[in-house]
Chains A and B, each alone.
Chain A
Amino acid sequence: MKKIIYSLSVLCLFFCACRDVTDLLNDKEQLIAISQVDKEFSFKEVSVFSVNDTIQEIYIDEEGNVIKGKILATYQKDLIIKQMEERGFFYIPLTELLNDTLPDIFIDLLYVENKYAQVSNYGWWYDHYEPSWFNYWNLDTCYPYYPISYTAITSYTTKSFIMDFLYLRESPEHTYNAESCFFGLVRGIADKYTENEIAKYINQCFDQTPELKKNND
């Protein structure tokens, strides 16, 4: 009897070990905000900006097929205009621009959606998604580890909102060059893209970039 209890206790140590079923992105995950500013660029020298009225949409499925489209920029555009005006820049709608004139900064908007699908084999020591013996355990989503082997198909779609700030300047040859001086990216699982959430992270892109000011006092 003692031997049985003893053996079972040892087995329990192994069989009760749990680990997360996957470390792929899920809908519990928050959006992230990434910004990149050209530190050499002087925002004091620019004053007028315009924002694209439409957002280019690019959808890439799990097989790499690309679908492109356009949607009207609504609250995203208003939010960017508000943020830029608070920083001392002057907004001119594209329709009010005179012939042969351009704003100092043109803000282009883009949505990119990527669909990922993956077949994973779980069980014993080896994982296809991460060939490591030391996968972490997550007690929230706990699955028996050692004795069970199974296959799962995981699929999720990420969505990124990109705003690209293009500095337009005239070259000596009287052609216009566009140079990116700032770009902000909001990325996350597509289901998380509510208006409030994306507004919060667009604002975060501006808030974390103190260089983006007309007057750097």
Chain B
Amino acid sequence: MNKKYFFIFLPFYLFTFFNGSAQVNQFYSIEYSTGSLVGVSSKFINNYSWRGGQFNAQIFLIDNLAVGFKLGFNNFYSKVEPKMYDYGTGLRIYANTYRYVRTAPFQIGAVGHILPNDMIKPYVGLYLGLCYASESVMVQDVQARNENLGFILTPELGFYLQFGKKSPAGIKFSAAYNLATNHYNLSMSEYKDLQSVNVNLGLTWMVMHR
């Protein structure tokens, strides 16, 4: 480990030092994230989103248990073909609408690794955190927009695939369900929560101390 990497990951080393873990494995992943809104949110946007990414770090506390954080974003988008919207006050609009939900969660969590020393390392995780979300509807060049912050709970399943037994690199595949308390009330819709599922694929760098 050269000095440059040491200083970049100094906070994590300090963290593990104070925990006195006998074996420390660390995972740092940059992931491409796809997903879909589910539940009531899917009435607003039902297209699958291919626009997302996240950064994930995990540090082992004990043999099979790691703690970590993740920071990411997903942009959900759909274009709704022309239809008439009746506001009930005599105002009616016939138009295309463009709908966007942009989420950016920051979460910390615990991750249980089933086979941490194998080349394929499956895991189960539970993350908690905050989620910034913005929801918007565009009609031509006019936009109604709503921004808010909520709590988010994310159970996650996945695995790491190490490129070689001694390789520090690998890929990560994961699937997650997100339940956020973000609520939105735009002129055409109102929802009390924001639910989504994500499928993520990324590249991982692993630091191993034995």
> When each residue 9-35 of chain A gets 1 if its CB lies under 8 Å from chain B and 0 otherwise, what string results?
110010001000001110001101111
Q: Is the CB of B30 within 8 A of A32?
A: no
Q: Is the CB of A137 within 8 A of B75?
A: yes
Which residue of B91, B163, B169 is within 8 Å of A36 (Cβ)? Answer: B91
Is A150 interfacial (CB-CB < 8 Å)? no
Q: Which residues of A contact B159 (CB under 8 A)?
A: none
Q: Is the CB of B169 within 8 A of A6?
A: yes
Is B109 interfacial (CB-CB < 8 Å)? no
> When each residue 61-98 of chain B gets 1 if its CB lies under 8 Å from chain A and 0 otherwise, what string results?
00000000000010101000010101001111111100
Which residue of B51, B93, B141 is within 8 Å of A33 (Cβ)? Answer: B93
Closest Cβ–Cβ distance, residue A171 to chain B (whole Å): 24
CB closest chain-B residue, reference A188: B140
Q: Is the CB of A25 within 8 A of B141?
A: yes
Bound form: Cα–Cα A13–B77 in Å: 20
Closest Cβ–Cβ distance, residue A126 to chain B (whole Å): 16
CB closest chain-B residue, reference A204: B94
Is B149 interfacial (CB-CB < 8 Å)? no
- Interface size for chain A: under 10, 10 to 19, 20 to 34, or 35 or more residues? 20 to 34
Bound form: Cα–Cα A6–B203 in Å: 8
Bound form: Cα–Cα A29–B93 in Å: 15
A residues in contact (CB < 8 Å) with B: 2, 6, 9-10, 13, 17, 23-25, 29-30, 32-39, 132-134, 136-137, 158, 187-188, 201, 204, 208-209, 211
B residues in contact (CB < 8 Å) with A: 30, 32, 51, 53, 73, 75, 77, 82, 84, 86, 89-96, 100, 102, 104, 134, 138-141, 163, 167, 169, 203
Q: A17-B53, A30-B96 are in contact. List 13 more A-B contacts (CB 8 A).
A: A6-B169, A32-B140, A33-B93, A33-B95, A37-B90, A132-B102, A136-B75, A136-B102, A137-B75, A158-B140, A208-B84, A208-B94, A211-B90
8 tightest A-B contacts by CB?
A: A32-B95, A134-B102, A33-B94, A25-B141, A37-B90, A39-B90, A208-B92, A36-B91
